[in-house]
Amino acid sequence: AHLDRIADVEHAVHAFLQVSGDAALAVAADVDARRTSGEELHALAGVPIAVKDVVVTKGLETTAGSKILQGWIPPYDATLVEKLKAAGLPILGKTNMDEFAMGSSTEHSAYGNTHNPWDLDRIPGGSGGGSAAAVAAYEAPLAIGTDTGGSIRQPAAVTGTVGVKPTYGGVSRYGLIALASSLDQAGPVTRTVLDSALLHELIGGHDPRDSTSIDEPLPALVAAAREGVSGNLKGVRVGVIRELQGEGYQPGVLARFEESLELLRSAGADIVEVSCPHFTYALAAYYLILPAEASSNLAKFDGMRFGLRVVPEDNPTAERVMSATRGQGFGDEVKRRIILGTYALSAGYYDAYYGSAQKVRTLIQRDFASAFEAADVLVSPTAPTTAFKLGEKLDDPLAMYLNDVATIPANLAGVPGLSLPSGLSDDGLPVGFQVLAPAKADDRLYRVGAALE
């Protein structure tokens, strides 16, 4: 049914870079046979899933939305993909994304735009616009995204889907093509909070192949979601982050936010206001730390090991091959960030830029720590606006970066965040409501999220 739906709408949405229909059908048939023979299977066995193209899949081209990886067929699976396969989830294909996950609109993909199913002239968010659009367009019931600064939550917000960035270290990063290793996390994109909990529990947990993986059992996420469905939040303290509302937020976004607060209140939650004064500097710190880490992570794409190799006719030394390959293989946004990152890390500037940004990061972590003394969860709009028009912010990187203002603090502090739909703005487009919890307390996201659904 999902492959039929893809055949019907994909030409207009372009959520996928590749559809692996035959392989998905083979897995589905195998799961059917095992179920018929009485085998006990995972709750999600047989439920198809779309995977963001930054996640490595054995035998299935993986490009991270970049020309530099065109044609690269990975010889192994990411840990999370191994888990999907072991549980019997058919993989429908790989979804479109901003190149190397840099962007908020999926317009930086080297393979064309993805369109928002709510309005095809608008962006589906980014960088994981393909995963969110696939779920919103009913091309896939589940998808995997990655979130370095909001790339799961912001696309979920602007497409009316649910997206979760787990606690840093909660889901293995083994087999994710790294953007910024200290910020990256993979997580679910789904249509309901309970679906996200099921998927998160499946892909999460300790992995010795990721040195930053948390060596503890995950909290009981599905149980928390089921508890939330009862709609009782008596005694739960919900902190509204003062710095993430007001100026710069669309009136329709704020109106839906206030309504969600009312719903929380009527479910018995105590609403308090908290202040996180250093969040004002989060965006500036992020856009130094991310390019710094990215410039180092992307150094391996040199035309020698993976994908594209461009050999200049004249004097093709190794250095000139690398330079020609990177010149042609990387898009403008990637080059912009490599230049910013290498500059911020260079001798003489390191302390002023990267060093200061790391200090700000610590202050943001402290803001979270004191806010979580006053509240069990924190809430804000997920993004300041609804989906903007394709092309609207493409020539203005700073305007594009501003869209991440509410999602970035969670990545800098490593805390988990969930975005769920909170109705439509005056323009008829979906608005997202963000819930944040302390590290390793991802269960709180599901309890509060499910109560709001």
Please report how the helices 193-203 and 442-452 are oriented relative to each other, as an axis angle in degrees rounded to 10.
160
Q: Which of residues 277-336 bind ligand GLN (CB under 6 A)?
A: 290
106 vs 260, beta carbon nearer ligand GLN: 106
SS3 state at 25: helix
Active site annotation includes 419: no
The Cα–Cα gap between 49 and 238 comes to 33
Whole-number CA gyration radius for the chain: 21
User: Which residue among 52, 83, 94, 440 is the active-site one?
Assistant: 52
The Cα–Cα gap between 141 and 138 comes to 6
Active site annotation includes 151: yes
The Cα–Cα gap between 21 and 10 comes to 13
* 103 counts as binding ligand GLN under rule CB under 6 A: yes
The Cα–Cα gap between 453 and 446 comes to 10
x/- letters, 58..77, toward ligand GLN (CB under 6 A):
--------------------
Count of residues touching ligand GLN (by CB under 6 A):
13
28 vs 178, beta carbon nearer ligand GLN: 178
User: At closest approach, how far in Å is the CB of 448 from ligand GLN?
Assistant: 22
User: At closest approach, how far in Å is the CB of 9 from ligand GLN?
Assistant: 25
Q: What is the sign of the dihedral through the CA atoms of 438, 199, 148 and 59?
A: positive
x/- letters, 138..177, toward ligand GLN (CB under 6 A):
---------xxxxx--------------------------
The Cα–Cα gap between 138 and 191 comes to 9
Q: Which of residues 106-135 bind ligand GLN (CB under 6 A)?
A: 127
Looking at residue 160, what DSSP letter applies?
A: T
Active site annotation includes 52: yes
User: At closest approach, how far in Å is the CB of 134 from ligand GLN?
Assistant: 17
66 vs 151, beta carbon nearer ligand GLN: 151
User: Which residue among 105, 109, 127, 196 is the active-site one?
Assistant: 127
User: At closest approach, how far in Å is the CB of 62 from ligand GLN?
Assistant: 16
Distance set, CA 39 to CA 42, 48, 343 (Å) = 10, 19, 57
225 closest CA partner among 181, 269, 194: 194
67 closest CA partner among 412, 280, 332, 376: 332
**Structure tokens belonging to residue 324:** 């020609």
14 vs 52, beta carbon nearer ligand GLN: 52
Beta strand 16-19 with 91-95 is: antiparallel
174 vs 286, beta carbon nearer ligand GLN: 286
Q: Which of residues 389-448 bind ligand GLN (CB under 6 A)?
A: 404
User: Which residue among 20, 109, 151, 419 is the active-site one?
Assistant: 151
- Cβ neighbours of 320 (radius 10 Å): 14
User: At closest approach, how far in Å is the CB of 235 from ligand GLN?
Assistant: 33
**Structure tokens belonging to residue 417:** 């965040």
Determine which residue in the list 27, 49, 78, 101 makes contact with ligand GLN, applying CB under 6 A: 101
User: At closest approach, how far in Å is the CB of 179 from ligand GLN?
Assistant: 6
List residues near ligand GLN by CB under 6 A: 101-104, 127, 147-151, 179, 290, 404
Any idea which residues carry the catalytic annotation? 52, 127, 151
